[in-house]
Every structure is written in C-alpha cells, then in structure tokens.
Structure 1
C-alpha cells in the first residue's frame, strides 16, 4: 500500500490462489469501516489495534474515515471504547492520539440475521457520508458460520448507493476444501469476486507448530 498516490497495490486472495491486484482508490471523500463482531475478542485484540496503527501512520484521517462497530451485545459507544481501551493503554505511545481516535468509533447493536439492526446501521453510516465520494468496507470479525447470513443482510440493507462496497472475511474460511467452496459459493451469489477479501491471521500456524 503506497502513501504517495491514489493507486494502491492490494493482494487479493481467493480460496485457491493469490495474485496482485491494482485498484484505483480515491484518497478524497468518506470511508466508512464497519467492524462486525465488534464486541468480541478478535476485534478487541486484532482488528481495532490494526485500525489504530493505520490511523497513527496517517492512513485514516479523522475527517475522512468513520469507524462503526456492530454486534448483538447491547452496549453504548463508550462501553465499546472502554472494552478495547486496556489493549491500547499497553501499547499506545500517545494517550491524546488514542483518545482522539476513539471518538471516531460509533456502535450499533443488532442481530446478525434480521433486517432491523442492519437498517439502523445503514442509517447511522449515512449520517456521516459525503454521498458523492463515499465508500464502505465491512470487516467480518465473526465465525464463518454466520458469513452467509451477514453478507445477505449487508447486500439487502447496507450497500453503498454511490461508491464501492467491500467485504473482508476474517478467520479460517471454512474448515476444509468442501466447506470453503460452499462459503465461496454462498457469498459469491451476493457479491462479485472483486468485492470479497479473505484474511486468515493464523495462516500457517499449524505447520509452524508441527515444525517446532
């Protein structure tokens, strides 16, 4: 990812291969990043710290980027910030910078399999968007079993009306080839391949443990 221009080189990973993909990404306008599963351990320890590091390095400017957490847990914006605060206090070099970034985070509570919560999420996102240059990225810090229904709700309720929408799925994508292909098929019915990104932060973990 280059910081000097509007073109980023992104590694696009499918279930079967990995190849570089050149994507023209506008550096102006509004980006909404939605962390689904925001109250969970993965989001607390991995996703939010990663987003903060991007902010600290200048990639996520406060007037251009809005971060939304979504989960079933009924908590407030401040409750979510307090849940993840302990992780940041250990590693953060600037309390002022951390506090500034925390106030970018909004929280919406709702179910993963009904429209009501996702309609509320769409409404909350829309309040912060500049509609001519707005984009949405949905980060699924969730178990793979709920990917299909969550993607269905995003497609039905939360698609960007003016810019692009991207889906990032986290954790192992299925437990074997058959389940991975099934998930790919289910999500592929809702989104184009260019809209889907798969990340496994434990990729290769078992192999390394076996070597040890």
Structure 2
C-alpha cells in the first residue's frame, strides 16, 4: 500500500510541475518565449523542449518502452545542447504538443509499472535503476527547471507564482523598487558591520561616494 501511495504522490507532483512549465509561457509573445535571458542562453521554450526530450527517454527507452517519435540520441555529440533552445523552424505549438504527448507516454509507463520495476540508464555511472529512482529524478529535474522558468518569467514581466490559481498579486514598479532597495540596504549593512557575525572583515561590493 505504501508503494502505491508513494507512487501516486510522486506522479501527482510531476504532473503539476509539467503544468507549471507550460503556464510560464502563457501570455508571452514568440520572441519572449524563445530569447536567451541569461548569459548561457537559458530560455523558456527551450526548457520545455529540453524536458520533453529527457522525460521521453527516462520513461521510454530506460524501461524498454521507447517513445514512438524520433529523438536525437543521447550520445550524439553533434546534437548535444540543441534540446535547450528552439530554432526558427520549430513552432511553439510543436514544442508544447510534444511535451504533452511525452507526458501521456510517461504517465502510461508510470501507471503500468511498480516502483521497483527495473530499468537501465546507459548514460549513468550506475545504470541499473528502478522506476522509483527515475520518478524522483524527473520530479527533481522538472521542479528545478520550473524554478528557472519562474525567475525568467519574473525578469520579463514581473509575473510570479506556480499556477494561475496561486499567482502572486500584482504590485506596481514602485513597490518592488522599494522592496529591492530594502534588501540591498540590509546586504550593505551586513558587509559594513562584520563584527556582528563573529568573523573578520567580509568581502563586499566596492562602494563609491554618493
């Protein structure tokens, strides 16, 4: 019984995390869902593409239940990294629809197997796994990227939250500027008074006279 409850708990959280990833795209134009928003090129639609590729592998070939659509091979060095961004020839609808198809395929694998069902991950140092390991891994991976997406979306339009029903109430720019300034003052004060922390002088940002 505990195995069934644990599987449903993990599976439910994974389904919710997938929806968060897609919700982060809502209301944005084509450029904003695709454009790089960090120095390493992280972008919203690319995160969804990345998760669709890897979830299809982990709940597909790992358990000898391959996803029935072509994917770049995990060991193809020429394709490495292309799952993290979207070309001009790939449409937003294609990426989202594939993520949903991958989710349905993964759900079927999870529903059909027990938590101790064996699998094989050839790209892991210890390739012998169970469904439990993969469920935890993909939940962790999806939640991690949902956190990335939350920050990227906040950079674009200030929107935060994990779903439409729990989105943070909107605040004007003046509110957030004052909030940020308060945090900045606290950080500067901590650097200016290192003795309070029981340590020696702490490194901090160089300050210029106002």
When normalised by structure 2's length, the TM-score is: 0.26
Give 1 or 2: higher helix fraction.
Answer: 2
**Structure whose alpha-carbon radius of gyration is higher:** 2
When normalised by structure 1's length, the TM-score is: 0.26
